[in-house]
């Protein structure tokens, strides 16, 4: 029963199918016609092997079209398609073989031309197998999908690397003709006329294979890398010009034309292209800003060192920062760089302060509210507070002791002098009040002092420390003044008064008045009685503790002192003088039998030579006892005269006055004698020779100036004595140093030498 029904059903179906295929043609002619059409269609669609040398069978398109028409009427197209796709799957190995072949070649050569050839080859496969468009878009898209699926599944893993290489090389096609390998192997049928770009073939091949969509992120990453490489190459360490405009120009010249190909190839007009490129273009622009920003952040420490010459770089960074939020990164990297390169025991306090000052200026420029500065500066300030010599450095900076006259004088040319600013509470009535920036920390205050000096002084809680240090510095300078010219110091004090307030600098005011008073008193006394002595008379309690010692000036020195003191007492009856014998300088002429030696020496040295005027030979120990000074101090003074050729060591510790200069007998320093002899023959060569010899000692001098910062000439001389074979006098050293100064190696200021930075 059931079998009957089934048999009937099958018969019905068969009848229906037959009727559909035969279409009421007589007999089975319909069926025959159908099978003919099917044969032609499948044969036409069959995916052939490109490598098959046998020529393709020619089809009359009319016939083919008619067959498809026929099959379509019989509703057999889906079946045909299935059949076709199945055939494709079976033939897939042909393509796979090609891919493997090209990839192997590429891997061996590692040049993009094999990739280009592969792409063109695949495009050819794709075109070869593609059914005619008359079959409708459904069939066509089904074919494309199936082809691409097969294709992607057959790519080896190295394909993406190769493709990347190809894309990367495509940048060079933008402004230059393509190399032959990037052109299609055979003349393209639809060669676009006019100045169309040649790389269009490669891109359209990629597109028809669907590679552009599939590898979109890869293409973008290639472009990112391209931009990064360019930024690194052109911008690294170039801080003296603004790079951003130049980079934007480069983007327009090089990257945008390239972008047209993968992203806007189909555009018909410039406007359309612009629209298509807008999104991706701004992504690339952002990436460029970010790359530049990252680069500049890495270099920020050095940029700050170069401030203000590196201003254009900061300008770039500011613009980038507004586009890319890297503020946190900035704080982190700059703090790291500071910790590593600045805040360690090897750094000079002056350079830390300089760097801090530059950091202030640079970050104020980047971020006017000062949030960045506050975050970066905090560790520097804390570190500076721990350093013992910070105050001295800041004070030195204040009065402009740095090289090139930097400091107070220069600082104030472009900004008005203002009193030190103190923190103020928020003014709640201020109509222009603005909330603190969002990334400000809890301790941040917008109205912190903004000028450099106030900020430096505010490292410490009290400014008294500065005033004290200032007093010491001022005292040193004033006491070194011999020509009565201390206008610079007066001006500095006037400026500092504005900053620190009148009361704090009262002491300095007294010191300056002592200077003028001394001069007036001296003029009066000189009018009464001409004397070579010109003392600076200071008010004790108002000067920092001065070096005191108890030796007495001998002989004529004592007489002069007493005479002066007497005149002073006459002029100021209720005052008297208390000499500080150690301090000051004396210029002397030592008149010997055959020569006169002129020298400018400290009083101790003068006292020593005075003792030799009573007795020709002295033991250092005796001298020390006689003058109530330490032996070491006496020896040092004696050696000064030995250098000048006035004294000579007879025996250990026993020195003799040389009434007649010893030249022939000075076996101890043959070099000097030789130099002196040559001196008569030709002046120039001796000088040159001396320079040559001095070069050996230059290393020593350079070393000590590097280590100790600044030294007086006498100090350098006494240290050089420790060097083997050193036999120069202090005058020769002075000449040499002067020469070094002319050559720009060292600078001198107030008798103190230092290396030119």
Closest separation in Å from C-beta 498 to other proteins: 18
Interface with other proteins, residue 569, by CB under 8 A: yes
Closest separation in Å from C-beta 666 to other proteins: 19
* DSSP secondary structure code for residue 182 in this structure: G
By C-beta, is 546 or 621 nearer to other proteins? 546
Candidate residues 117, 387, 445, 534; the one interacting with other proteins per rule CB under 8 A: 534
Closest separation in Å from C-beta 475 to other proteins: 10
Pairing of strands 746-749, 710-712: unpaired
**Among the candidate windows 93-101, 140-148, 583-591, 702-710, which touches other proteins by CB under 8 A?**
583-591
Angle at 175 between CA 172 and CA 178, to 5 degrees: 60
Candidate residues 576, 699, 721, 749; the one interacting with other proteins per rule CB under 8 A: 576
Interface with other proteins, residue 506, by CB under 8 A: yes
C-alpha count within 13 angstroms, C-beta hemisphere, residue 282: 7
Site track 85-104 with other proteins (rule: CB under 8 A), x = hit: --------------------
Distance CA 496, CA 491 (A): 9
Closest separation in Å from C-beta 510 to other proteins: 6
Closest separation in Å from C-beta 639 to other proteins: 18
Candidate residues 311, 366, 538, 675; the one interacting with other proteins per rule CB under 8 A: 538
Containing H/E element for 303?
A: helix 270-306
**Among the candidate windows 308-316, 331-339, 399-407, 568-576, which touches other proteins by CB under 8 A?**
568-576
Site track 643-662 with other proteins (rule: CB under 8 A), x = hit: --------------x-x---
Interface with other proteins, residue 585, by CB under 8 A: yes
Closest separation in Å from C-beta 577 to other proteins: 5
Residue 423 near residue 448 (C-beta atoms within 8 A): yes
Candidate residues 204, 536, 640, 717; the one interacting with other proteins per rule CB under 8 A: 536
Closest separation in Å from C-beta 507 to other proteins: 10
Interface with other proteins, residue 430, by CB under 8 A: no
3-state secondary structure 645-666: CCEEEEECCEEEECCCCCCCCC
Interface with other proteins, residue 561, by CB under 8 A: yes
For tokens 């200069």, what's the residue?
Answer: 661
Interface with other proteins, residue 533, by CB under 8 A: yes
Closest separation in Å from C-beta 561 to other proteins: 7
Closest separation in Å from C-beta 719 to other proteins: 25
Distance of CA 250 to the CA centre of its chain: 23
Closest separation in Å from C-beta 546 to other proteins: 7
**Among the candidate windows 129-137, 294-302, 434-442, 537-545, which touches other proteins by CB under 8 A?**
537-545
Distance CA 546, CA 581 (A): 11
- Sequence-distant (6+) residues with CB within 8 A of 266 are 276
Q: Show the tokens assigned to 80.
A: 């045909």
Distance CA 48, CA 84 (A): 11
Interface with other proteins, residue 539, by CB under 8 A: yes
Q: How many residues does the chain have?
A: 757
Residue 99 near residue 156 (C-beta atoms within 8 A): yes
Candidate residues 9, 141, 548, 682; the one interacting with other proteins per rule CB under 8 A: 548
Interface with other proteins, residue 493, by CB under 8 A: no
Residue 409 near residue 400 (C-beta atoms within 8 A): yes
Candidate residues 140, 472, 560, 714; the one interacting with other proteins per rule CB under 8 A: 560
Closest separation in Å from C-beta 427 to other proteins: 35
- 3-state secondary structure (DSSP) of residue 84: helix
By C-beta, is 9 or 587 nearer to other proteins? 587
Residue 234 near residue 243 (C-beta atoms within 8 A): yes
Closest separation in Å from C-beta 748 to other proteins: 19
Distance CA 313, CA 291 (A): 14
Candidate residues 590, 661, 719, 748; the one interacting with other proteins per rule CB under 8 A: 590
Calculate the dihedral angle through the C-alpha atoms of 634, 640, 643, 649, rounding to the nearest 10 degrees: -10
By C-beta, is 33 or 642 nearer to other proteins? 642
Distance CA 269, CA 272 (A): 5
By C-beta, is 157 or 545 nearer to other proteins? 545
Closest separation in Å from C-beta 534 to other proteins: 6
Distance of CA 295 to the CA centre of its chain: 9
- 3-state secondary structure (DSSP) of residue 56: coil
Interface with other proteins in residues 463-482 (CB under 8 A): 479, 482
DSSP string, 342-410: TSSTTS-HHHHHHHHHHHHHHHHHH-TT-HHHHHHHHHHHHHHHH-TTHHHHHHHHHTT-SGGGTTHHH
Judge residue 247's burial from the number of C-beta atoms within 10 Å of its C-beta, 0-12 exposed, 13-18 middle, 19 or more buried: buried
Interface with other proteins, residue 348, by CB under 8 A: no
Site track 595-634 with other proteins (rule: CB under 8 A), x = hit: ---x----x--x--xx-xx---------------------
Distance of CA 265 to the CA centre of its chain: 41
- 3-state secondary structure (DSSP) of residue 748: strand
Closest separation in Å from C-beta 542 to other proteins: 6
Interface with other proteins, residue 586, by CB under 8 A: yes
Interface with other proteins, residue 540, by CB under 8 A: yes
Which segments of 662-751 are extended strands (E)? 710-712, 746-749
Distance CA 149, CA 144 (A): 8
By C-beta, is 410 or 556 nearer to other proteins? 556
Closest separation in Å from C-beta 619 to other proteins: 18
Interface with other proteins, residue 584, by CB under 8 A: yes
DSSP string, 688-717: HHHHHHHHHHHHHHHHHHHHHSEEEHHHHH
Interface with other proteins, residue 578, by CB under 8 A: yes
Residue among 633, 629, 632 nearest 549 (CA): 629
By C-beta, is 277 or 752 nearer to other proteins? 752
Distance CA 704, CA 692 (A): 20
Binding residues for other proteins, rule CB under 8 A, total: 55
Under the rule (CB under 8 A), what is the footprint of other proteins?
479, 482, 506, 509-510, 513, 517, 532-542, 546, 548, 550, 556-557, 560-561, 569, 572-581, 583-592, 598, 603, 606, 609-610, 612-613, 657, 659
């Amino acid at each position: 029963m059931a079998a009957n029904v089934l048999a009937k059903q099958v018969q019905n179906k068969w009848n229906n199918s037959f009727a559909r295929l035969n279409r009421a043609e007589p007999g089975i002619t319909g069926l025959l016609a159908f099978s003919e059409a099917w044969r032609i269609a499948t044969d036409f669609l069959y995916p052939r092997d490109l490598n098959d040398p046998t020529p393709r069978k020619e089809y009359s398109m009319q016939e083919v079209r008619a067959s498809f028409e026929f099959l379509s009427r019989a509703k057999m197209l889906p079946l045909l398609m299935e059949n076709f796709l199945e055939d494709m799957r079976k033939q897939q190995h042909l393509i796979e073989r090609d891919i493997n072949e090209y990839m192997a070649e590429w891997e061996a050569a590692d040049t993009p031309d094999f990739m280009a050839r592969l792409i063109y080859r695949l495009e050819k496969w794709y075109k070869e197998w593609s059914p005619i468009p008359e079959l409708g878009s459904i069939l066509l898209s089904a074919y494309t999908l199936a082809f691409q699926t097969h294709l992607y599944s057959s790519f080896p893993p190295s394909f993406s690397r190769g493709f990347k290489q190809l894309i990367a090389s495509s940048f060079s096609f933008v402004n230059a003709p393509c190399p032959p390998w990037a052109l299609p192997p055979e003349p393209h049928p639809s060669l676009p006329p006019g100045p169309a770009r040649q790389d269009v073939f490669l891109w359209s091949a990629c597109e028809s294979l669907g590679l552009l969509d599939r590898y979109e992120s890869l293409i973008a990453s290639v472009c990112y890398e391209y931009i990064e490489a360019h930024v690194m190459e052109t911008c690294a360490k170039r801080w003296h010009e603004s790079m951003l405009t130049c980079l934007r120009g480069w983007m327009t010249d090089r990257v945008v034309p390239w972008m047209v190909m993968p992203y806007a190839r189909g555009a018909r007009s410039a406007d359309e292209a612009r629209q298509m490129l807008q999104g991706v273009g701004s992504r690339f622009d952002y990436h460029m800003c970010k790359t530049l920003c990252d680069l500049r952040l890495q270099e920020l420490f050095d940029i700050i060192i170069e401030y203000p010459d590196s201003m254009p770089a900061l300008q770039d960074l500011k613009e980038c920062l507004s586009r890319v939020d890297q503020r946190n990164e900035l704080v982190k990297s700059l703090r790291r760089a500071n910790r590593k390169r600045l805040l360690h025991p090897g750094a000079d306090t002056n350079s830390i302060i300089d760097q801090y000052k530059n950091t202030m200026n640079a970050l104020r420029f980047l971020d006017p509210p000062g949030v960045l500065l506050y975050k970066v500066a905090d560790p520097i300030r804390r570190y500076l507070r721990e350093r013992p010599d910070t105050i001295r450095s800041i004070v030195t900076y204040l009065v402009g002791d740095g090289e090139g006259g930097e400091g107070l004088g220069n600082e104030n040319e472009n900004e008005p002098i203002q009193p030190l600013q103190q923190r103020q509470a928020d003014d709640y009535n201020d109509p222009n009040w603005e909330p603190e920036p969002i990334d400000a920390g809890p301790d941040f205050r917008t109205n912190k002092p903004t000028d450099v000096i106030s900020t430096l002084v505010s490292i410490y809680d009290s400014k008294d420390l500065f005033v004290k240090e200032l007093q010491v510095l001022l005292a040193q300078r004033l006491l070194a003044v011999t020509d009565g010219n201390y206008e610079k110091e007066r001006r500095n004090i006037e400026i500092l008064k504005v900053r620190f307030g009148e009361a704090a600098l009262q002491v300095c005011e007294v010191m300056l008045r002592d200077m003028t008073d001394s001069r007036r008193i001296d003029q009066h006394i000189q009018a009464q009685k001409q004397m070579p002595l010109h003392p600076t008379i200071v008010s004790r309690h108002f000067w920092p503790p001065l070096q005191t010692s108890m030796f007495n000036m001998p002989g004529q020195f004592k007489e002069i002192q007493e005479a002066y003191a007497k005149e002073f007492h006459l002029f100021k009856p209720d005052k008297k003088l208390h000499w500080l014998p150690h301090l000051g300088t004396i210029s002397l002429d030592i008149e010997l039998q055959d020569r006169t030696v002129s020298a400018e020496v400290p009083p101790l040295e003068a006292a020593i030579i005075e003792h030799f005027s009573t007795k020709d030979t002295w033991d250092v120990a005796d001298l020390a006892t006689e003058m109530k000074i330490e032996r070491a101090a006496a020896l040092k003074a004696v050696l000064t005269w030995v250098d000048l050729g006035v004294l000579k060591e007879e025996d250990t510790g026993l020195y003799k006055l040389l009434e007649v200069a010893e030249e022939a007998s000075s076996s101890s320093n043959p070099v000097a004698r030789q130099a002196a002899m040559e001196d008569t023959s030709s002046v120039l060569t001796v000088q040159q020779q001396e320079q040559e010899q001095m070069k050996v000692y230059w290393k020593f001098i350079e070393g000590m100036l590097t280590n100790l910062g600044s030294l007086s000439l006498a100090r350098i001389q006494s240290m050089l004595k420790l060097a083997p074979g050193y036999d120069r006098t202090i005058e020769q050293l002075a000449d040499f140093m002067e020469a070094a100064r002319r050559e720009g190696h060292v600078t001198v200021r107030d008798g103190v030498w230092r290396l030119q930075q």
